[in-house]
Amino acid sequence: MSSTFLGMPATPPRSPYGTGNLRGDRKFPKAAHDELRNEQLRRNLGRATRTIRAKRLAVTAELPDWEALRDAGSAIKTETMNRLPELLEQLERNVTERGGTVHWARDGVEANEIVTRLVKATGSSDVIKVKSMATQEIGLNEHLESAGITPYETDLAELIVQLAHDKPSHILVPAIHRNRDEIRQIFLKEIPGVDPRLDNVPAHLAAAARAYLREKFMTTKVAVSGANFGIAETGTLAVVESEGNGRMCLTMPDTLITVMGIEKVLPRYQDLEVFLQLLPRSSTGERMNPYTSMWTGVTPGDGPQDFHLVLLDNGRTAALADRIGREALNCIRCSACLNVCPVYERAGGHAYGSTYPGPIGAVLTPQLAGMHAAKNDPNSSLPYASSLCGACFDACPVKIDIPSLLVELRHQNTEQSGATAEKLAMKAAATVMRHPKFFTAAQKGAGIGRVIGGRDGTISHLPPPFEGWSASRDTAVPPKQTFRSWLASDEGTATMRAAADEHAKNRKTTEEEK
C-alpha cells in the first residue's frame, strides 16, 4: 500500500504539460473560426453526422430496454470508479496468472518509454497498430518514430490520417473530414506501388488498403492495441472493431502490447452483456459491430505468446479526484455525443485541439491535462465550446451529464482565472446598480457606444476587455437616450398621457357595450 494513503490525501497530477496530444496550440473560438471557412469539411461532416444519427436512432429504438441498459451501464461505471484500486489489482493478478505481464505508467511519457523498450526487446523495427485512443492521446507513434520504430496504423481511417500526415477529427471515424476524392489522392501519393488507375469508389479504396496492409499483417512481429474493456474478474481484454485489422493485430504477431487507461476496467465478465449492447448501437449504429476479440493472457498455440498490458494514468486520477468531473471517466468512447452536437457538426474535431473532440472531449481534455497549465491555456476555452443544448446527455449510453460537467468546468475556470477583467466588470456593475446616481451617470456614458457603432448600428469589435463577447456576435449600439431620460422629456410625458387617454376611452366603450 502506498505511503501517501496513510497521510493526507494529495491531489493527483494532471497529464504533464507539453506531452502527448491533449492540447491544441490555440483556443477553440480561433481554431473553429478557421475550420468554419472550410466548406468541404462542413459538407463532409454534415453528411456523415446526419447519416450516423439516423442509424443510431433506428437501432436504439429497436430495444425496448434501452433505457434500462443505460441505467445499468452508468451504474457499472460508477461502481468501477469507486472500486478502482481493487479492480486493477484483480485484473493484474488474473492477467499475470494467465501468462501476461502488467506494467503501470504514471503518464504518457512513461507509457511511451515502456512500449518502446518492449518493442526494442523483440528486435523488430516495425509495429502494426489497432486504432486506439489511448496511444493517440500519449503520442505513441511520434515517440516510436523518434526511436527508429515504424508504426503502421491498420484501421482504414487511421491509415488515411497517418498517410496524409494529418490528425484524427472524430473518435470513431477519424478521417470523417475527408471525402472519397481526397482519400483517392492521398492513396495515390502515399501508398507504394498502388495502381495509378485507382478511382474514388469506397470499395476500391478499401481494397487498395487491404492489399497494402496484408503484407504487414503477415510479416510484422509486434502489435500495439488499446482496449475497450478489461475484465477484473477474469483478466479478459476486449477490442471492438469492424474491419478485421484488430483481429489481425491481436492474432498474427508474436508479441502484443496493449495500452489501456485505468478507467477501462470492468468488474465482471457478465458486465459485457450490457456494454456489448450499448457500445455498437451508440457508436456505429449497428446491432453489433462485425468483430469483437476477447483474450485472457496467453493461450498456448493460439495468437501472441508474449502479452503485455500497460495500465495508463496520465491525468485520470486527477479527474477521479473531482467529485463532479469524475463522471467523464465513465466514457466508453462511442462518439454518439459528437454526432449529435451542433457545435461539433460545424466546427469539426480539429478545432478542439485534443485527441478527444466534441462534447466529451470538452469535459475530458481539461480534466486530464488541466485548463491552466500554461498562460492562455487553449484548454480553458473548451468548456465554452457548447451551447448547453443537452443533446449529448440524451445520446450518451452511460448517461454522462455533459452539460452539467461543462458548467462546472466553466465555474472552475472562472475561479482559477483570478482577477480577470470580467470579474472586475461584474463587481463594478454591482456597485453601480446599487446606487441610482451612479446608474444614471453610467447610462449617459453608454451613449459613447453610438460613436463606434457606425452606420449599420452594430458594434462588431468591442475594445478590451470585452473583445471576447464581440468576437462571436455583433453588439447593438446603445439607444440615443435611456428610457428614464426619455420618460422625463416632453415627448415621453405626451406619449404616456396619450396612452392613458386611449385606455380610458376603451374602457368606457367596453362598459357601454355591456
Site for other proteins in 300-339 (CB under 8 A): 301-303, 311, 313, 317-318, 320-323, 326
Q: C-alpha cell of 411?
A: 465555474
Q: C-alpha cell of 400?
A: 454522462
Single-letter amino acid, residue 378:
P
Task: Out of 35, 110, 377, 401, name the contact with other proteins by CB under 8 A.
Answer: 110
Least distance from other proteins to the Cβ atom of residue 90, Å = 12
Structure letter (DSSP) for residue 463: P
Task: Out of 47, 444, 461, 497, name the contact with other proteins by CB under 8 A.
Answer: 47
Q: C-alpha cell of 23?
A: 492540447
* 228, 333 Cβ separation under 8 angstroms: yes
Least distance from other proteins to the Cβ atom of residue 95, Å = 11
Task: Out of 5, 196, 415, 473, name the contact with other proteins by CB under 8 A.
Answer: 5
- 206 to 235, contacts with other proteins by CB under 8 A? 206-207, 209-210, 213-214, 217-219, 231, 233-234
- 250 to 289, contacts with other proteins by CB under 8 A? 250-252, 262, 269-270, 272-274, 276-277, 280, 284, 286-289
Distance CA 245, CA 78 (A): 32
Least distance from other proteins to the Cβ atom of residue 278, Å = 10
* 191, 208 Cβ separation under 8 angstroms: yes
Q: For residue 39, give the 3-state DSSP assignment.
A: helix
Q: C-alpha cell of 45?
A: 461532416
Least distance from other proteins to the Cβ atom of residue 458, Å = 39
291-299, 373-381, 448-456, 489-497 -> range binding other proteins (CB under 8 A): 291-299
Q: C-alpha cell of 348?
A: 469539426
- 429 to 468, contacts with other proteins by CB under 8 A? none
Partners of 238 in beta bridges: 229, 294
User: Which residues neighbour 73 within 8 Å (Cβ) at sequence distance 6 or greater?
Assistant: 274, 275, 278, 332, 397, 398, 399
User: Which residues neighbour 418 within 8 Å (Cβ) at sequence distance 6 or greater?
Assistant: none
Least distance from other proteins to the Cβ atom of residue 81, Å = 7
Least distance from other proteins to the Cβ atom of residue 247, Å = 5
Indicate the residue among 291 and 466 with the shorter CB distance to other proteins: 291
237-245, 346-354, 398-406, 430-438 -> range binding other proteins (CB under 8 A): 237-245
Helix (H) or strand (E) holding 76: helix 66-82
Least distance from other proteins to the Cβ atom of residue 103, Å = 8
First-to-last alpha carbon distance for the chain, in angstroms, is 88
Examine residue 10 and tell whether it contacts other proteins (CB under 8 A).
yes
Least distance from other proteins to the Cβ atom of residue 423, Å = 26
Task: Out of 202, 342, 445, 465, name the contact with other proteins by CB under 8 A.
Answer: 202
205-213, 436-444, 454-462, 484-492 -> range binding other proteins (CB under 8 A): 205-213
Task: Out of 48, 147, 191, 407, name the contact with other proteins by CB under 8 A.
Answer: 48
Examine residue 35 and tell whether it contacts other proteins (CB under 8 A).
no
Query: To which residue does cell 386611449 refer?
Result: 502
Query: To which residue does cell 475527408 refer?
Result: 178
* Nearest residue to 227 (alpha-carbon basis) of 266, 267, 259, 275: 259
Distance CA 6, CA 25 (A): 40
Strands 229-231 and 236-241: antiparallel
Distance of CA 452 to the CA centre of its chain: 39
Distance CA 196, CA 324 (A): 54
Least distance from other proteins to the Cβ atom of residue 261, Å = 11
Indicate the residue among 290 and 468 with the shorter CB distance to other proteins: 290
75-83, 188-196, 393-401, 482-490 -> range binding other proteins (CB under 8 A): 75-83
Site string for other proteins, 87-106 (x = CB under 8 A): -xx--------x----xxxx
- 127 to 166, contacts with other proteins by CB under 8 A? 154-157, 160
Least distance from other proteins to the Cβ atom of residue 295, Å = 5
Least distance from other proteins to the Cβ atom of residue 150, Å = 19
Examine residue 39 and tell whether it contacts other proteins (CB under 8 A).
no
Number of residues that bind other proteins (CB under 8 A): 107
Distance CA 107, CA 360 (A): 21
Indicate the residue among 415 and 490 with the shorter CB distance to other proteins: 415
* 257, 119 Cβ separation under 8 angstroms: yes
Helix (H) or strand (E) holding 229: strand 229-231
Examine residue 248 and tell whether it contacts other proteins (CB under 8 A).
yes
Task: Out of 36, 75, 191, 194, name the contact with other proteins by CB under 8 A.
Answer: 75
* 249, 225 Cβ separation under 8 angstroms: yes
Least distance from other proteins to the Cβ atom of residue 191, Å = 15
Q: C-alpha cell of 195?
A: 495502381
Task: Out of 34, 61, 146, 299, name the contact with other proteins by CB under 8 A.
Answer: 299
* Nearest residue to 160 (alpha-carbon basis) of 195, 133, 190: 190
Task: Out of 129, 221, 247, 399, name the contact with other proteins by CB under 8 A.
Answer: 247
- 179 to 198, contacts with other proteins by CB under 8 A? 179-180, 183
Least distance from other proteins to the Cβ atom of residue 364, Å = 16
- 383 to 402, contacts with other proteins by CB under 8 A? none
- Dihedral sign from CA coordinates of 39, 356, 250, 219: positive
Indicate the residue among 313 and 377 with the shorter CB distance to other proteins: 313
Single-letter amino acid, residue 511:
E
- Dihedral sign from CA coordinates of 189, 195, 196, 200: negative
